[in-house]
Chains A and B, each alone.
Chain A
Amino acid sequence: MLEDKLLLSVKDLVTAFDTDAGRVTAVDGVSFDLQEGKTLGVVGESGCGKSVTAMSIMQLLPRPMGQIIGGSIHFNGEDLVMASEERMGSIRGKEIGVIFQEPMTALNPVHRIGQQLSESLLLHEGLSKKEAWSRSIEILKLVGIPSPEVRVSEYPHQLSGGMRQRVVIAIALACRPSLVIADEPTTALDVTVQAQILELIQSLQEEMGLSVMMITHDLGVIAETCDDVVVMYAGRVAEKGNTQQIFENPQHLYTLGLLNSIPKLGTPRKQRLNTIDGYVPGLDEMPVGARFAPRSQHPRVAEYLASEDFKTVKPGLVEVEPGHWVEDCAYVRAF
């Protein structure tokens, strides 16, 4: 087995967007580490900042509205926040690959599959067009596309959804990156196709020693594929730890609420499901204090919501068992 080597280390990342209504902070002090060869899951609901975190790592934030205003992102020891646009250009696609959610929009409809695969090979590997084309066929074979020699000259619309997602994965892996960021890679797919794609990502990971950052809202996908998990809520880390710790010993009320609210096959029929009351605060009305507190059922939470603490003090994280961290505020902790 590989020695634990830190590949990606995000520290106190703050990413903000300038909007008509003023500056909003989408990611507010997020930290996590990803070891070489491991899979890190980032889970949370729409608007929790998980995709913005990924975009920050890739430096693909919409300019000029979006910008990183604090923290560091160390990839292989190099701080990407400080990297020049030129340097990022040589990292993106070469050392870090991305798999996007919607394969139809991630692929260019007017270019052949082979052209899209060749693009990064021509750019980063300095191959000739002919070499890139034959390498494309090899990669398509690797991701399990039948008759790759034919498919390579087809257009995206000629492929099924599952095939397209395999092509997107092929593009992400074309230059043998050490890190792949998968942003909801199976959300747009059917369950049986999802099973195929997850299986593919896992087998490629083993084969190539890839590290994967898996961004998803689906706890089932996390449970099946990830070594470590970061649970995000409203732009902050609510809880993080290894997958076992998060699923078997959830410490944050939000994690617990998420785990309880998904229907499982064993859930009795026609019985009300557990829910999390309330809703996620809007980006422009984020409290400084524990952001989940307004939805907490803690008996004395009202006191906290009225307190000066809630208005001014941002809770940090506390380590509850080795490697298992949770937001340091009694009102949002499981009780």
Chain B
Amino acid sequence: MDTDGGNQRGEILLEVKNLKVHFPVKEGLFSRAKKYCKAVDGIDLQVKAGETFGLVGESGCGKSTLGKAICRLLNPTEGEIRFDGRDVGRLGRAAMRPLRRDLQIIFQDPVESLDARHTVREILEEPFIIQKMGNTVFREKKVRKLLDKVGLAATAADRYPFEFSGGQRQRIGIARAIALEPKLIVCDEPVSALDVSVQSQILNLLMDLQKEMGVSYLFIAHDLAVVKVISDRIGVMYLGKMVEQADADTLFSNPMHEYTKALISAIPIVSPGQKRERTILKGDVPSPIDPPPGCAFARRSPISVSEEVASCPSEYKEVEPGHWVEVHPATVRDYDALEGL
């Protein structure tokens, strides 16, 4: 399957430890940064070979920043990113280049992520040229194969991105990402800009490619139903931190964090007359620039606690094998039982 050794399914491919990405916030033109926007603030996660890790959360929770930092499109402030045994977090540009073969990304907006002045052939050839692989004949063969793999006609090669529909463009984005047969693809909201019928086609394509190539995905999305379909494990992010993590079935059958429960209950049910008990959260997500002290979620939680309790720090704990939860009086219903763990 893989040319260079290969990874056994189930082996840890990506390990992120206490990752932080902070952006300086400048006030005024010449002043030095006094505050930091803590977009990603201490994340731990693991992705195993051949599996899909789903990452959900609302806008501004830092999920895209996390994905970009893992691909080193952003520099981490602190923490460790181990990919396939190597510490990606500290590699320079040149040292990263060979690694990019194994680590790819698919973006949300296929219009903006494809160069409008390049034909599809040029877009798909580029990775091979950068990696100095093969000659023209080899590349032409690859382009055809890639187009076929993602369900596009061979004639697509000579056309420009704007000539395609949104779904077809996303197929081109996927073809580009799988060109070098990577081990991990970070999928950053790959279907959110697509129509529902096209969305299911793209999800199927991603699942088929995983079966065929054994590639792992870090699948970032805000739509829980979509994430559930494609993921083996799911992590829920809130304001730069992971608040719950479990295998996909457990997360839905036994969500423990109030935020996870609220997210699940907010999904509209596609069946009229059937109403779910809905948890409506108070207010908005606080700013990551000056996050409130203690538990970031406490002031929005349906479990009311005093300001004093809310300011107490929370703990991220494994409450049952493989099921991690941010434990705090305001985040879980049976705090007393979990606190002692």
Chain A contact residues, CB within 8 Å of chain B? 45-46, 146, 160-163, 190-196, 198-199, 217-221, 223-224, 243-244, 247-248, 257-259, 261-265, 267, 269-276, 279
Contact = CB atoms under 8 A, between A and B. Distances in A.
Interface stretch (B40-48, B77-85, B181-189, B270-278): B270-278
Given A45-B196, A46-B195, A258-B196, A273 B203 contact: yes
Q: Which 9 A-B pairs have the closest CB atoms?
A: A220-B268, A190-B58, A45-B195, A273-B200, A261-B200, A195-B266, A191-B266, A263-B229, A276-B197
Contacts of B252: 265
B225 interface: yes
Q: Choose among B252, B266, B283 the residue with the greatest number of A CB atoms under 10 Å from its CB.
A: B266
Nearest to A247: B272
A262 B229 contact: no
A275 B197 contact: yes
B263 A262 contact: no
Nearest to A245: B272
B252 to A, nearest CB: 6
Contacts of B199: 261-262
Contact of B231 (A196, A218, A247, A269): A269
B280 A279 contact: no
B14 to A, nearest CB: 19
Contacts of B59: 161, 190
B124 interface: no
A72 B267 CA distance: 37
Given A192-B262, A279-B167, A264 B270 contact: yes
B166 A247 contact: no
Given A161-B59, A190-B59, A247-B271, A219 B222 contact: no
B12 interface: no
Contacts of A198: 268
Contacts of B270: 219-220, 223, 247, 259, 262, 264
B27 interface: no
B284 A163 contact: yes
A89 B59 CA distance: 37
Contacts of B196: 45, 217-219, 258, 261-262
B197 A218 contact: no
Contacts of B281: 192, 196
Nearest to B247: A269
Given A45-B197, A272-B204, A190 B222 contact: yes
Contacts of B265: 195
23 contacts: A163-B284, A190-B59, A191-B223, A192-B281, A194-B266, A195-B268, A195-B280, A198-B268, A218-B196, A220-B267, A220-B270, A223-B271, A224-B275, A244-B272, A258-B197, A259-B270, A261-B199, A263-B203, A263-B226, A263-B229, A267-B228, A269-B248, A276-B197
A191 B261 CA distance: 12
A224 B268 CA distance: 7
B113 interface: no
A283 B232 CA distance: 40
A272 B205 CA distance: 9
Interface of B: 58-59, 165-167, 195-201, 203-204, 207-208, 222-226, 228-232, 248-249, 252, 262-273, 275, 278, 280-281, 283-285
Contacts of A269: 228-232, 248-249
Contacts of A270: 207, 229-230, 232
Contacts of B222: 190-191
Contacts of A218: 196, 268
B280 A196 contact: yes
Given A46-B195, A224-B275, 7 more contacts: A146-B283, A190-B58, A190-B222, A191-B267, A194-B266, A269-B229, A269-B232
Given A261-B196, A262-B225, A265-B225, A275 B268 contact: no
A218 B207 CA distance: 23
Contact of B197 (A146, A196, A261, A264): A261
Nearest to B225: A263
A223 B272 contact: yes
A224 B269 contact: yes
A215 B201 CA distance: 24
Given A46-B195, A223-B271, A223-B272, A267 B229 contact: yes
A190 B267 CA distance: 10
Nearest to B281: A192
A272 B211 CA distance: 11
Nearest to B283: A146
A274 B269 contact: no
Nearest to A295: B197
Contacts of A199: 280
Contacts of A265: 224-225, 228, 252, 264, 267
Contacts of A261: 196-197, 199-200
Contacts of A271: 229
A304 B155 CA distance: 28
Contacts of B200: 261-263, 273-275
Contacts of B204: 272-273, 275
A95 B264 CA distance: 37
Contacts of B207: 270, 272
Contacts of A279: 165, 167
